[in-house]
Structure 1
Amino acid sequence: MKPPASNTGVLSSFESYLNPVVDWVQVTFKKFKIEKIIKDVLKLEAGFFTKNDFGFYGYKYSYQFNDILVLYNGDSDVSGMGVHLQMSGKGCRQLDFYLKAQQRTWKDFFMDCFNLETKCNFSRLDVSIDDVKTYFKIPQLVKKIKAGEIVSKFKYSYNFEKLKNSDGSNAGTTLYMGSPTSNVRFRFYEKNYEQAFKQGVEVEEIGDWNRYEIQMRNENATECAKVLSRDSNILYVVKSILNNYVRFTNKSDTDKYKYRWKTWRNWERFIEDAGNLSLYIRPEPKTFEDTYRWLIKQTSNSLKTVEIIENSLGINGELIERIMNSANLKPQHYEKIVNYLKQKSQFEDMEDSLPRDIEGRS
């Protein structure tokens, strides 16, 4: 099976004005080997994939089938990084094709991820809506924000306007909500201008086309994937996330409280009957195991460098000791220590996280 040469994931305006798209997937499995991921999650033949002696994100090797990438460290995964599946926008469009051939949906894909490994981790998940009716223009949203006619969980928005040097005319506006480092970020842009540039045609030939993207990372991405494993209505899910984070309004001259302002009609018609889907997850307390894995991944090279210098100078342990002495442990650090030590038989009688209790036992 081969994916179509060009598949934007968008139906014609006669078939659908709003088309939801899963646009990027990155998920890690810790307990299963690469063949299991390909067979039980992607449900493809391992023979379709090409093995590469290189990887990304710290992985040593990779298997690749078109734009579907599976990263791993071989049989000896001492770092515990597991197997990482990545599908870019193109990879997701290709999986669209295979899912239809398999008589599966994206709901089935996400369900299979969690059925294989309950605690699989989605480090990135992008979902979007292609709007070929254009309920509003992106510059209108920018104008609303500048007028203060927005209620949002995001502190800031950023807009970029592409201009033609020949005559100074607009060649596409992009609006971001949320910072590049946040776990949830929106991007609204005029995709018709993007496609016109790629195809070398006038934007009028493309017609109206906006894209509204949601980029999620880590626990927020995982939470959204869980929702999508239970709900096949991707459009409703995407709208509900948008509705939870932002609302465009009409300014009231008689009421100073923005949350009571009426919703802007264009936005109201677009959101329609969507709910409010919060992706907030209360963070679980960090454990010693989390700290240990982080040390291996982030500081092992630096500590090894210090050790080699100490051995070369014949001052074994002096530099490391200075590093240790500069630490300033807080209550949460002692709590982490106690929670770990209480798992060991010789420390079962530990009753609290007092520093002197721990130091006295060291």
Structure 2
Amino acid sequence: MENEKIWIKELKEKRLAYGVSQNKLAVASHITRPYLSDIETGKAVPTQQVKEDLLNALERFNPDNPLEMLFDYVRIRFPTNDVAQIIGEVLRLNMDYMLHEDFGYYSYPEHYRFGDIVVLVSHDVSKGVLLELKGKGCRQFENFLLAQHRSWYDFFQDCMEHKGIFKRLDLAINDKTGILNIPDLAKKCKQEECISVFRSFKNYRSGELVHRDEKPYMGNTLYIGSLKSEVYFCIYEKDYEQYVKNDIALEDAEIKNRFEIRLKNDRATQAMKDLLEHQNAEKTAFEIINRYIRFADKDETKRRSDWQTNERWEWFIGKNRGALRLTIQPEPYSFERTLNWLHHQVAPTLKVASILDILNGTTIISTMIHEAKLTEKHEKLIEQQHLGMEDLIT
């Protein structure tokens, strides 16, 4: 009994130290939140299997794990023009609160959206309904998955049951400690130390100039494989991207590098079948990586196929590191993008006009805001921002 109390205490302390909610851990462990609550309060005694599942799931959220994996792009086509069914039964969202636009992308004439969760619609059944979740869309949708007590695997299974056709799937591996060195990997590609079935690679440095240790530095991106093929890899310096987008200092960035596996059409479908069969994202991801590339150290005394695998690359693909599990990083849909635009583009002019109002004794700005007419779209955006989660999910 005393050992049981110690185990519960350690579980709870570790959960809190990792910043993981009961709901988040329960979903990851395939149990209910009330059951987890009863375990932590001593009202329920878990089996040995449940204990193992809880500890294994909790380690996925270990902030000290140098690598983490997440879904970063999902595009699925459904062979139906019943958009209400897809939003209600697959996304399990309340369609009434989604913003409708009379334009679309990829030759779709209209779409529905909630933040970056986008559902494109066509009356042509051959085009069907297209769901697209880019990076931010995936993060926003994870909020709803948690509230619905669903995992990504549950969601993908629902997609399959509605005959969803996977058009694109990106798996991203975040490198928090700099295991990957992208300039070195690019150099190995040039020196033919990347043993691969791919025939092409592209390395470039782009963006604004950044100074690191008083030396010019630019973000590096390495593409391995053709961007037109159904599978290719994109490896880039995520810390630099965060500097450019969010003005986060390079040394303060949580993620140093990102390795993206980008899959389209048949390759995306095959990967999804493997994910649903094994529910092991690390297995699926690294089987794909190992099938296509291996970084080695040149040895002129041996055949190229016999060159020893590079030690840093071995670490990345699994040698002497902990298990890499699928993580989620839910982000709420916010008004941040519009506020940033106002801050950079509108605020200076608005400030000038406000000062002139004070100097001239006028009320032009306050009158302008008061008399502004809001469209139905504006009203819907306001509604989306203040709704509770219980209103949004079905």
TM-score after normalising by structure 1? 0.66
Counterpart contact for 1:129–1:235, Cα < 8 Å: no
Aligned to 2:142: 96
Matched residue, 1:164:
209
Preserved CA contact (<8 Å) 2:81 2:128: yes
Residue aligning to 1:233? 280
Give the partner amino acid of 1:176. Answer: Y
* 2:127 aligned counterpart, secondary structure: coil
State the match for 2:78 in structure 1. Answer: 29
Greater RCO, CA 8 A, separation 6+? 2
Runs of 5+ consecutive residues of structure 1 not aligned to the other structure: 1-10, 275-362
Structure 2 partner of 1:220: 267
Cross-structure match for 1:200: 247
Residue 281 of structure 1 aligns with which residue? Answer: none
Q: 1:62 aligns with which of 111, 119, 123?
A: 111
Alignment size in residue pairs: 258
For residues 191-212 of structure 1, what are the alpha-carbon distances to aligned partners after superposition, in whole Å with 9 as ceiling and x for unaligned? Answer: 0111122222431222661100
Structure 2 gap segments, 5+ residues each: 1-59, 322-394
Equivalent pair of 1:23/1:126 in contact (CA under 8 Å): yes
In structure 2, the CA distance between the partners of 1:101 and 1:265, relative to structure 1 (3 Å rule), is same
| Cα pair 2:210 2:218 within 8 Å, conserved | no
Partner of 1:40: 89
Q: Do residues 153 (structure 1) and 202 (structure 2) align? A: no
Tell me if 1:186 matches 2:233.
Answer: yes
Kindly tell me: are residues 49 and 171 of structure 1, through their superposed partners in 2, closer, same or farther at Cα, counting changes over 3 Å? same
**Does structure 2 conserve the Cα–Cα contact (< 8 Å) formed by 1:139 and 1:173?**
yes
SS in 2 for 1:21: strand
Q: Secondary structure at the match of 1:172?
A: strand
One-letter identity of the residue aligned with 1:55: G
What residue number does 2:171 align with?
Answer: 127
Cα distance in 1 between the residues matched to 2:91 and 2:261? 23
Q: 1:296-348: CA deviations, max 9, x gaps?
A: xxxxxxxxxxxxxxxxxxxxxxxxxxxxxxxxxxxxxxxxxxxxxxxxxxxxx
1:14, 1:124 → 2: CA distance? 29
Closer/same/farther in 2, CA of residues 225 and 145 from structure 1, 3 Å limit: same
1:85/1:208 CA distance change after superposition, 3 Å: closer
- Alpha-carbon distance change, 207 to 33 in structure 1, aligned in 2, over 3 angstroms: closer
Corresponding residue for residue 306 of structure 1: none
Distance 1:234 1:165 in 2: 35
Contact 1:13–1:132, Cα closer than 8 Å, also in 2? no
Q: Cα deviation per residue 1:236-270 (whole Å; 9 max; x = unaligned)?
A: 322221111100011122212x2221111111111
More helix by share: 2
Letter in 1 for 2:105: F
SS in 1 for 2:156: helix
Alignment RMSD (CA, Å): 2.3
